[in-house]
Structure 1
Amino acid sequence: MTEKKLKIRQQAFALTLCTIVFMIVYNLATLYASSLDDLPSFTFDFEESIPFVPLSIIPYMASGIFFCIVFFLCKNKYQLKILTWRMLFVMITAGIAFITTPLQFSFTKPEVSNEILNLPFLFLKIFDSPFNQSPSLHIAFAFIFWSIFRDISKWRIFLMINLILVGISTLTTYQHHVIDILTGAILAHVSFLVIPYRKKNPENPYFHFANYYFLSGWILLSAGLLIDHYLGNEGFILFLPALVTMMIGYFYQNNSKIFFPVVFTIKQNIRQFRKN
Structure 2
Amino acid sequence: MLWMLLLGAMFIHGYSWTNQWAASQPHAYSLHGRWDDAIPFWAWTIWPYLALNLLYPLTFFIFPTRSALRRHALAIALVQAACMLAFVCWPTGNVRAVPQPAGASGLLFAQLRAFEAPFNMAPSLHAAVGVLVWQAWRRWLQADPAPLRWLWHGACGLILVSTVTTWQHDLLDVLAGLVVGALALWITRAARLR
After TM superposition, the score normalised by the length of structure 1 is 0.65
> Does the aligned pair in 2 maintain the 1:82–1:197 contact within 8 Å?
no
Q: Can you give the 5+ residue segments of structure 2 that lack an aligned partner in the other structure?
A: none
Identify which of 171, 174, 189 aligns with 1:178: 171
Identify which of 48, 62, 82 aligns with 1:59: 48
The answer to whether residue 137 in structure 2 is matched with residue 149 in structure 1 is: yes
What is the rounded CA distance, in whole Å, between the counterparts of 1:148 and 1:40 in structure 2? 33
Tell me which residue corresponds to 1:193: 186
**3-state SS in 2 of match to 1:72:** coil
The answer to whether residue 39 in structure 2 is matched with residue 40 in structure 1 is: no
Tell me which residue corresponds to 1:124: 112
> Does the aligned pair in 2 maintain the 1:56–1:173 contact within 8 Å?
yes
> Does the aligned pair in 1 maintain the 2:31–2:173 contact within 8 Å?
no
Evaluate the alpha carbon distance shift between residue 84 and residue 20 of structure 1 in structure 2; reply closer, same or farther with a 3 A threshold: same
Q: Can you give the 5+ residue segments of structure 1 that lack an aligned partner in the other structure?
A: 1-11, 200-276
C-alpha deviation, 1:177, in angstroms: 0.8
Please give the root-mean-square deviation of Cα atoms over the aligned residues, in Å.
1.6
C-alpha deviation, 1:144, in angstroms: 0.6
Tell me which residue corresponds to 1:79: 68
Aligned-pair identity (%): 25
Over residues 88-122 of structure 1, what are the superposed CA-to-partner deviations in whole Å (9 max), with x where a residue is unaligned? Answer: 00001111000001100111212313x11111001
Over residues 114-162 of structure 1, what are the superposed CA-to-partner deviations in whole Å (9 max), with x where a residue is unaligned? Answer: x111110011121111111111111111111122111214342222211
> Does the aligned pair in 1 maintain the 2:31–2:170 contact within 8 Å?
yes
Q: Which amino acid aligns with 1:140?
A: A
1:193-212 equivalent positions in 2, closer than 5 A: 193-196=186-189
> Does the aligned pair in 2 maintain the 1:133–1:180 contact within 8 Å?
yes
What is the rounded CA distance, in whole Å, between the counterparts of 2:8 and 2:100 in structure 1? 31
Tell me which residue corresponds to 1:164: 157
Over residues 54-108 of structure 1, what are the superposed CA-to-partner deviations in whole Å (9 max), with x where a residue is unaligned? Answer: 1101100001011111111112111101000000000011110000011001112
The answer to whether residue 133 in structure 2 is matched with residue 140 in structure 1 is: no
Tell me: higher relative CO, structure 1 or 2? Use CA pairs within 8 A at least 6 residues apart.
Answer: 2
The answer to whether residue 35 in structure 2 is matched with residue 31 in structure 1 is: no
> Does the aligned pair in 2 maintain the 1:149–1:156 contact within 8 Å?
no
Q: Which amino acid aligns with 1:131?
A: F
What is the rounded CA distance, in whole Å, between the counterparts of 2:30 and 2:68 in structure 1? 37
Q: Which amino acid aligns with 2:51?
A: A
1:95-134 equivalent positions in 2, closer than 5 A: 95-113=84-102, 115-134=103-122
Tell me which residue corresponds to 1:247: none
Over residues 186-241 of structure 1, what are the superposed CA-to-partner deviations in whole Å (9 max), with x where a residue is unaligned? Answer: 10111122211699xxxxxxxxxxxxxxxxxxxxxxxxxxxxxxxxxxxxxxxxxx
1:248-263 equivalent positions in 2, closer than 5 A: none
Size of the aligned set, in residue pairs, is 187
Tell me which residue corresponds to 1:90: 79
